[in-house]
Structure formats: C-alpha cells, structure tokens
Structure 1
C-alpha cells in the first residue's frame, strides 16, 4: 500500500552510485601513479579491508581520519609493497573516486522523476571531496534539495545526531512523511530506525537481513520499485 512520503533521504554509494565499479577504477589509477599495477584480485582484497573499516567506523570503533589511512596501510602490508605514502594515497584516492563515479541502473532517472513531486536529500558517510565530485559529475547534485555528508555534519550514520542535523535544516519537517533509501543495514536502515523514520532497503542481490533487531519497512531489488511505495 502506497504512503504519501514527502521527504526522501538517499544513500549514495551502492544505492545511486555503483561504488564497486568506481572503487576498482580509482584504486587502479592511484596505484599506477605509485608504479604499482593492481589485479582485480588485489582490488577485492582492498575492498574487503575497506568494508571492514567502514563497519568499524559506523559502530564507533575508530576515528574516520585514522580509518582512511589505516585501510591503505593494511592493504600495502598485505601485498608486501614498499615506498607507498598512505596519507598521499588516500588524498589522491578521494579525488579519483569522485572522477570515476558510475551510476547504478535507473539511479538518475528515478531521482529525476521523483524530484518533480518529492523533496530529496543525499545522506552519506563518504568524504566531502569524493562525494561532492560524484554528485557533480553524475548530475545527481542538481536533483537534491539538500546534501548532508558526514565529514561536514560531524557525525556518521547511523548516529541519530547525523539525522537530527539534517532534519533541522528542512523547513516544517515531519518525520512521518520521511523515507530513508539505502543498501546498508548497519548505517542506512539502523540510522532510520534510530531517527524514527521509515526505511526502504535497496537489496538487489537478495541478501539475508540476519539481524532481527533492524526494522525494515520496505525492501526492493530495483530502484524503479520505489514508485510503488512513495505515492
């Protein structure tokens, strides 16, 4: 049954932007500048390290500034690489990650169509450098009524303070008319639960939720299914 949602909060990576594709291209480009050619298998190793650190971050187990460098330190150690400045690598990676943003299927078209009748907001834990560039080059930024990036807000999803900050910037905001759309159970769905708004889990690969404590109001495999939900 449709509900008349007025405010749509969008996660960016792996929801509207195909992060894995962007990650692969950006990572290979960065390491080439340091004289290292990465294989797809190497990228998969980094991707798992990166995922683990982001999960630790949203759980409050590490500072973001530490995490961003340490993931590269772990990666170059695992590949037994020498002479890599991990601070410089992370800075370069943020730029390249924004340069090679790849949209998910129907991501732009769905947002463009919904922008005619809904208020839409980007809510992301990514870095300001990378996320702002992604939103610019994909054209998504022009479709949003507000953009909230954890680097700027000062809190990461699922911290309720992240969402409270976003809500405070929206005139006459009503949480009963808000919907969070994202792929992450730990940051997006849990964040919506913490903030007291409905949530829609974008789950194209049919993953099993597992954690019974996370409440999910809707689950979709394609972004176009959202039209049957938001009214």
Structure 2
C-alpha cells in the first residue's frame, strides 16, 4: 500500500464533471426562459453561457452569470436578478451526476485507507451536490472552504483535513484537476499531489505533481 493512509479528492471536475452540469443547467434555463430557439442559436447561446460561467467562476453569488447572459440574449420569460441565485442554488446541484464506477472505486479504496473531499465553494451548493450524487455516503470527511474559512490553494484547508483524519502529510495523497489550487496547494502542505488530467492538457506551469493520471481507476495502483 506504499505507506499511504489517506486519499483526499477535489470535487468539481475530479469526482464530478462540472462542465457537463453547466450544460444541463443551461438547457434548464432555456426551457424555462426562452421559446422557439433554433439549434444554431442554441449552440451559440450555450457557448456564451459557458463563457460567462468561466468569467465568474469562483464567485459564490452567481447572479452575474445569468444576468450577463440575459443581457446578451434577452429572454421571453426572464427572472428578476434577486431570483437568479435561488434558481442556481436549487437547480445546479441537481445537474450533477457521478459515474457508478467512481462510487465503486471509492468504496474499494475506503476499505484500505481514509478518504475525504476538499472543495472550494458555498456550503449550501457543495453539500447539495454531494448529497444529490450520494457521495456523502462514501467519505470520512468533507471540507468546504466557506465552512472552514480557507480556500484552496491555502495550505491551511489541507491541514484541516489532515487533522480531521488524524494522518500525517507524508501518508496522504490529494487528487485534483487544478494545478495551482489543488496540486500546488496540497504540496505546500507537504501532501503528495496527483494531477487528474483526463483531457491530457499540457502542463505549462512550474508546478510538478507527484503523479499524473487520466482516469481515477489508475489510483488503485497506489493501494495494492
């Protein structure tokens, strides 16, 4: 088992595919607020919705995402700005899905090591995503930035997880898709960072992960 006693995971775009969830939220929004949108325009709108989501990614308040989108593509049935955040909080968590193989894999490694999640975001939305996908049944601890007062890449959020799981940094792996927030952050806390890179992006940074994987199943080799 290589001496590891714990494995920690990022949530969005590691355990869960956030990009697919954004697409699903877009289609919910179109169905609710627009009429008679042809396929070509819908594709254009979807790409711009993702642009605005990326522009305001990391903000707890998502009003700017949809308000900006409405400014560019005025809806037939809009919603006031004060209702946008409620729409996002209610519908976005329901747009996430977890692959059954991921659940199977987590349960398998949990038989050998402690497992946890460290995620940036609001308590309400992140807990809703985790509960909706049944990931809450799989992990020994879940650390959410809003709840603890530190966000990745601050090493203190990783240290909270170590303390909760009662493990040392050298006994721990952290798996995440973001080189700066996940990999550099955890390695500042002396935790080995495994870069989850399913799209095989080029690493153009000076950050050197402990390992790089393209599927979560590859992690099983660390616990044989």
TM-score range relative to shorter protein:
0.7 to 0.9
RMSD: 2.4
1:45 and 2:48 are equivalent in the alignment: yes
Alignment of 1:121-160 (within 5 A): 121-160=116-155
User: When the two structures are superposed, what TM-score results if normalisation uses the length of structure 1?
Assistant: 0.83
Q: 1:206 to 1:160 in 2, by over 3 A?
A: same
Deviates more, 1:101-110 or 1:119-128: 101-110
Structure 1 or 2, whichever has the larger Rg, is 2
Alignment of 1:98-109 (within 5 A): 98-104=93-99, 106-109=101-104
1:194 and 2:194 are equivalent in the alignment: no
Report deviation, 1:17. 1.2
Report deviation, 1:70. 2.4
- In structure 1, what is the equivalent of residue 11 of structure 2? 12
Report deviation, 1:183. 1.1
Deviates more, 1:75-84 or 1:151-160: 75-84
Q: 1:149 to 1:31 in 2, by over 3 A?
A: farther
Alignment of 1:56-75 (within 5 A): 57=58, 64-65=59-60, 68-75=62-69
Report deviation, 1:115. 1.2
1:25 and 2:35 are equivalent in the alignment: no
Could you tell me how far apart the structure 2 residues matched to 1:40 and 1:156 are? 34
**Structure 2 gaps, min length 5:** none
Report deviation, 1:80. 4.6
Could you tell me how far apart the structure 2 residues matched to 1:192 and 1:118 are? 18
Deviates more, 1:29-38 or 1:72-81: 29-38
